[in-house]
């Protein structure tokens, strides 16, 4: 089977919505990376966060098992430091094996409104065929 995905992915338009309206945790606003690893090898992914007015932070380490999917809330990335809420950021995800990355956002800043949006991340390189 042909490799699925890429080893580098970019999400330029991050912004963890804050504050939230509604009970926690189901109404917590979040950004999320959805990572599919269709290979036979566990992927130790590194994520670097870039801000408009501060130096980059990272790498954050995320393990995605072989032939597995993992959903990682940006809000939950705390080591080496917590990702800053309600601030624009971008991130670069690097993997030793090809993966596929989708980006999701749940925005609950308006009372009584839950907005969920998703898009594919941008592959940082074109896989060879």
pLDDT on residue 118: 77
- Domain-located, residue 128: no
pLDDT on residue 11: 94
Q: What is the pLDDT of residues 88-105, one digit of tens each?
A: 999 999 999 999 999 988
pLDDT on residue 110: 66
Q: What is the pLDDT of residues 78-88, one digit of tens each?
A: 999 999 988 99
- Stretch 103-122: mean pLDDT, rounded? 75
3-class DSSP assignment, residue 52 = coil
Distances (CA, A) of 19 to 22, 90, 108, 117: 10, 20, 8, 18
pLDDT on residue 116: 65
- Domain-located, residue 1: no
Residue 128 burial by Cβ neighbours in a 10 Å radius (0-12, 13-18, 19+): exposed
- Residue 25, preceding peptide bond in cis (omega within 30° of 0): yes
Instruction: Pick the closest to residue 107 from 10, 13, 36 (CA basis).
Output: 13
Helices (H), 5-129: none
How does residue 117 score in pLDDT terms, banded at 50, 70 and 90? confident
Residues 109/18, Cβ–Cβ less than 8 Å: yes
d(CA 112, CA 70): 29
Q: What is the pLDDT of residues 45-65, one digit of tens each?
A: 999 999 999 999 999 999 999
Q: 117 is in which domain, residue-wise?
A: 6-123
Q: 112 or 121: which carries more pLDDT confidence?
A: 121
- Domain-located, residue 129: no
- The CATH number of whichever domain residue 114 belongs to comes to 2.60.290.11
- Domain-located, residue 99: yes
- Stretch 62-83: mean pLDDT, rounded? 95
For the chain, how many structural domains are there in total? 1
């Amino acid at each position: 089977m042909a490799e699925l995905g890429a080893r580098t992915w970019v999400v330029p338009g991050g912004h963890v919505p804050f504050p939230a309206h509604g009970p926690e945790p189901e109404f917590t606003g979040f950004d999320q990376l959805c990572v599919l690893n269709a290979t036979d090898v566990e992927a130790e992914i590194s994520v670097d966060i870039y801000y408009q007015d501060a130096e980059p932070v990272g790498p954050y380490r995320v393990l995605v098992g072989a032939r597995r999917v993992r959903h990682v809330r940006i809000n939950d990335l705390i080591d080496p430091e917590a990702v800053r809420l309600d601030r624009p950021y971008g991130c670069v995800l690097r993997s030793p094996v090809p993966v596929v990355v989708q980006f999701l956002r749940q925005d609950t800043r308006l009372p009584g409104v839950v907005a969920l949006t998703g898009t594919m991340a941008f592959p940082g390189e074109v896989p060879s065929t």
